[in-house]
Amino acid sequence: MFSKQTYIERRNTLRASMKSGLLLFVGNDESGMNYADNTYRFRQDSTFLYYFGVNTPGLYAVMDIDGGRDYIFGDDLTIDHIVWMGVQPTIADRAAMVGVENTGTLAQLAHMLSKTSGRKVHYLPPYRPEHEVKLMRLLGVHPDNAQQQASIEFITAVAEQRNVKSAEEVAEIERAVNTTVLMHQAAMRYARPGMTEAQVAAKVHEVALAAGGDLSFPIIATINGQTLHNHYHGNTIQEGQLFLLDAGAETPMGYAGDMSSTFPVSATFTNRQREIYAVALAAHQAAIAALKPGVHFRDVHMLAARTIFDGLKALGFTRGNTDDAIANGAHALFFPCGLGHLMGLDVHDMENLGEQWVGYCGVPKSKQFGLKSLRLGRELKPGFVLTIEPGIYFIPELIDMWQQQGINKEYLNFDRIDSYRDFGGVRNEEDILITDTGHRILGNPLAKTIDEVEQERSFLL
Amino acid sequence: MFSKQTYIERRNTLRASMKSGLLLFVGNDESGMNYADNTYRFRQDSTFLYYFGVNTPGLYAVMDIDGGRDYIFGDDLTIDHIVWMGVQPTIADRAAMVGVENTGTLAQLAHMLSKTSGRKVHYLPPYRPEHEVKLMRLLGVHPDNAQQQASIEFITAVAEQRNVKSAEEVAEIERAVNTTVLMHQAAMRYARPGMTEAQVAAKVHEVALAAGGDLSFPIIATINGQTLHNHYHGNTIQEGQLFLLDAGAETPMGYAGDMSSTFPVSATFTNRQREIYAVALAAHQAAIAALKPGVHFRDVHMLAARTIFDGLKALGFTRGNTDDAIANGAHALFFPCGLGHLMGLDVHDMENLGEQWVGYCGVPKSKQFGLKSLRLGRELKPGFVLTIEPGIYFIPELIDMWQQQGINKEYLNFDRIDSYRDFGGVRNEEDILITDTGHRILGNPLAKTIDEVEQERSFLL
């Protein structure tokens, strides 16, 4: 937890950006897996954490903008609970630690919300079914309408504030990144032919847990890196394959790290792997070099796309005029996703608030294949923390579809591409702070160049 | 997944025990942590798994008892999803693997349920908020009424069927138990003074993940074993302390293991620890020895309680007539929880259906402190799989409360007890199958006697 003053100041900033009404913060509950009391690890709502810091389930908070008062609501434990769970601070004790003087029971919250005298109750978009049920019970909002009735004014104020990280937040993110580096190093130094993907993922997970936190998102640990959101870990890894790891730590305070690395299951890359890896890495490095305040992230994305397209042209996969090809999205056959995203208390920061508000200043996103997956499309500001993660993927289903439909055929050598349909995917990802004058890569260095990666794998020689 | 025939036979057994109507099985969805797409690991509903076997989110199933037809409903992936998630079998393909010929979309399910011609739609108690939202949308049941309107007939039929494990289920549970044994061995061979609890828990978790499954419940790994549901892992472990581990593996098919062990952070137990450990172990062994068909589990619980009370009497903690003390619940100061519980696809099997129906044949549970936490109170049958896990705990808050209120003071030497208020807790737990003639402890042996445990810890010498 940060100091009391941090939370007071955060709430004062938010208060100043809202006109009137009540802000309702719905904290998260425990989530049952296969019955109510067999729970997933508790994860507090990030906006609740940001403004109220209390990391326990079953809470709500209210900011009365007109009255200038902040409240935390929840029910304290009974002696029965204490036998099973040990002595816990009361809600009033916890509230005092974040500078909140007013606390009440859940019944008192329901009473307060039933007597708002016509003032607007602002809430953020629900992203768990529990939020829908709570908003229905407390505000009478039917789940079918809960998304649309979320407050754009509240969303925008939170997004603009949380997007700019303070020095103490950057330090906490860097802590997460340093654990993330250890996770990736553990994989590179542990994975060997004959293991399952699950064994490598388990080792990576162990490092995150041993640091006292957990994962910031489900681990991708796969020989099928071309499947972008692949959480299957059942394959046995073999000589000659590429292993793609996308994994990050979450600190006990809830801040995220997020990195990707790609390494050979063997001690060294094959020539094919080396060539593609070098193109992806060049895009990665070009993108990072371009980061500074005032730059539009869409332009950095396009720079990476161009680097990939030109690099693949030199290898005979693409052809034609690069400007035209990029404008037509031809690169998206290999790079169908975005260059990166903001991160903080969420690994995709504030994704629940809507990318249009967080990453696009309210401007609707492009609908073009590839660009529609870009989560960030605005000018960069000092204090933004983001990932850079271009990749090159050979996705058989996408290759087949484009080839059959003739999509961008003037820019693509499908014969050559087809001979790489079993190649897999390559991605490197790092976490970067936008500084006043440029950028800074966060955390301790992780093997990234071909030589550095092969050095990590040399224990297999 | 078991063979198609297994699922067909399970459904036929269920069909034969229901009179009429439609049985609605609500499969589980992905659950978001801090935004919708950052999900916890997927866990299918266990009853859905038991009868329909398909381990993917977003599904429903229906058994039309009158028409004799079974259905699986869900929406197939689009090409956009395939790019991100890879090619997946269709719902019809998955349904065919479990012998279900009828499939449909979610819209078709909604249509079917809107035209039931007055026939009853049976459903099981919701235990996730998503179930409440789904039941409201599909059946118009308000969340406030969803528990009460669950079908007792459906609950009872499922409970009686799932309570008796088949040979192939026992084999699968034993697989989970064998991984669980490895998890406990890893902890005993890894934990050393100066580590955090989180480091030990991380190692235990790694073993479960590396086996291809996950945990069957959140790990308890603590120097405060007296706090029964303690998931805090932030302490540094030190010489002279006891470490209590309660952890189990879940196989990829969803079956659970569940064991507890207690070992010294040092290489050897102290004399105090040795004495208390020996009493708890005696209760554990006496309880297991008593297990056979026809025995009432409440009697086995009371046997363990008596063994603990008498053992502690010999050590000067308790006094007076044992029969009277047990009848008054005096043992519950040290043993406030139940002796064990059924297990299977859920580590507390079918806890979501209600212990009264699963563990008590519909008879309401005792309200006495201690006994009210006993999850199983019925005659044992061949095919039951259950845990035996008596423990001895020194819970300062409970000691203070009982002493202040004079509860059971004629049976308790509070002065002696008070001098152990920092002792912690001791528990051993194993998983046992009730056979036709007696019982069988499942899985490979884990160190349990004082000598065996100290042998595992001898690497510290």
Instruction: Give, in order, the Cα–Cα distances in Å from B220 to each of A127, A196, B174, B341, B349.
Output: 29, 27, 21, 17, 19
Give the max Cα distance, chain B.
74
Q: Is the pLDDT of residue A79 over 80?
A: no
Q: How far apart are CA A447 and CA A200, in angstroms?
A: 17
Name the closest residue on chain A to residue B197, using Cα atoms.
A210
Question: Looking at residue B370, what is its pLDDT?
Answer: 86
Q: What is the pLDDT of residue B84?
A: 77
Q: How many CB atoms lie within 10 A of CB B140?
A: 9
pTM > 0.90: yes or no: yes
Asked if the Cβ–Cβ distance from B87 to A397 is below 8 Å, we say yes
pLDDT of residue A228: 82
- pLDDT for A295: 98
Check: CB of residue A26 under 8 Å from CB of residue A123.
Answer: yes
Higher-confidence residue: A363 or A262?
A: A262
Of A297, A305, A300, A299, nearest to A333 (Cα)? Answer: A305
B-chain CB neighbours of A332 within 8 Å are none
Mutant choice from A34, A215, A427 vs B, greatest count of B C-beta within 10 A: A34
Q: From the CA of B412, how many Å to the nearest CA of chain A? A: 19
Pick from B32, B33, B212: CB nearest A196:
B212
Residue B128 and residue A36: Cβ atoms within 8 Å?
yes
The domains located in chain B, with CATH, are 4-162 (3.40.350.10), 167-460 (3.90.230.10)
Q: What is the pLDDT of residues A182-196, one digit of tens each?
A: 999 999 999 999 999
Judged against a pLDDT cut of 80, whether residue A226 lies above it is answered with yes
Q: Among B35, B43, B211, whose Cβ lies nearest the Cβ of A34?
A: B43
Whether B39 contacts chain A with CB within 8 A: yes
Residue of B nearest to A44 (CA): B34
Give the CA dihedral B103, B109, B113, B115, nearest 10 degrees.
-80
Q: Do B233 and A212 touch (CB under 8 A)?
A: yes
Contact between B457 and B188 under an 8 Å Cβ cutoff? The reply is yes
Nearest residue on chain A to B230, alpha-carbon basis: A85
A421 vs B: CB within 8 A? no
Residues 104-133 of A with CB under 8 A from B: 127-130, 132-133
- Residue pair B219/B245 in contact by the 8 Å Cβ criterion: yes
pLDDT mean over A424-434: 98
Sign, CA dihedral A275-A279-A280-A285, equals: positive
B174 vs A: CB within 8 A:
no
User: For chain B, which residues score pLDDT lower than 70?
Assistant: none
At A13, list the tokens.
Answer: 């900033």
Whether residue B352 lies within 8 A of chain A, CB to CB, comes out as yes
Q: Which of A86, A209, A218 sits opposite B39 (nearest CB)?
A: A218
Cβ count near A79 (within 10 Å): 9
Q: If you average pLDDT over residues A100-114, what whole number do you get?
A: 97
A39/B contact by beta carbon, under 8 A: yes
Which residues from chain A sit within 8 angstroms of residue B230, using beta carbons?
85-86
Name the residue facing B234 among A209, A212, A346 (closest C-beta). Answer: A212
Please write the tens of the pLDDT for every residue from A227-274: 887 788 999 999 999 999 999 999 999 999 999 999 999 999 999 999
Give the confidence band of A80 by pLDDT, cuts at 50, 70, 90: confident
**Is B86 part of the contact surface with chain A (CB cutoff 8 Å)?**
yes
Contacts of A192 in chain B (CB under 8 A): none
Minimal Cα distance from B345: which residue of A?
A: A34
- pLDDT at site A232: 87
CA B137-B143-B145 angle, 5° bins: 115
Q: What SS3 string covers chain A?
A: CCCHHHHHHHHHHHHHHCCCCEEEEECCCCCECCCCCCECCCCCCHHHHHHHCCCCCCCEEEEECCCCEEEEECCCCCHHHHHHHCCCCCHHHHHHHCCCCEEECHHHHHHHHHCCCCCCEEECCCCCHHHHHHHHHHHCCCHHHHCCCCCHHHHHHHHHHHHCCCHHHHHHHHHHHHHHHHHHHHHHHHCCCCCEHHHHHHHHHHHHHHCCCEECCCCEEECCCCCCCCCCCCCECCCCCEEEEEECEECCCCCECCEEEEEECCCCCCHHHHHHHHHHHHHHHHHHHCCCCCCEHHHHHHHHHHHHHHHHHHCCCECCCHHHHHHCCHHHHCCCCCCCCECCCCCCCCHHHCHHHHCCCCCCCCCCCCHHHCCCCCECCCCCEEEECCEEECCHHHHHHHHHHCCCHHHECHHHHHCCCCCCEEECEEEEEECCCCEEECCCCCCCCHHHHHHHHHHHC
User: Residue A216's pLDDT is what?
Assistant: 98
Instruction: For chain B, positions 175-204, list CB contacts with chain A under 8 A.
Output: 196, 198-199, 201-203
Six-digit token pair at B67? 């028409």
pLDDT at A229: 78
How large is the average pLDDT for residues A60-87?
A: 89
Q: How many CB atoms lie within 10 A of CB A294?
A: 9
CB contact under 8 A, A39 and B218: yes
Beta bridge partners of A261: A245
Name the burial class of residue A290, with classes exposed (0-12), middle (13-18) and buried (19+) by CB atoms within 10 angstroms of its CB: middle
- Render pLDDT for A297-354 as a digit per residue (tens, 0 to 9): 999 999 999 999 999 999 999 999 999 999 999 999 999 999 999 999 999 999 999 9
Q: What is the DSSP letter of B350?
A: T
Note the pLDDT of residue B414. 98
The distance of B238 to chain A (nearest Cα, Å) reads 17
Chain B contact for A136 (CB, 8 A cutoff): yes
Q: What is the ipTM of this complex?
A: 0.96
Please indicate whether, in this complex, the C-beta atoms of B228 and A32 are within 8 angstroms of each other: no
Under the banding of pLDDT at 50, 70 and 90, the label for residue A83 is confident
Strand partners, A208: none
- pLDDT at A299 (0 to 100): 97
Handedness of CA A204, A206, A212, A217 (dihedral sign): positive
CB pairs under 8 A between A and B: 180
Contacts of B129 in chain A (CB under 8 A): 29, 128-130, 132-133
The answer to whether residue B251 neighbours chain A at the CB level (below 8 Å) is no
Q: Per-residue pLDDT tens for A153-188?
A: 999 999 999 999 999 999 999 999 999 999 999 999
Average pLDDT of the residues of chain A? 96
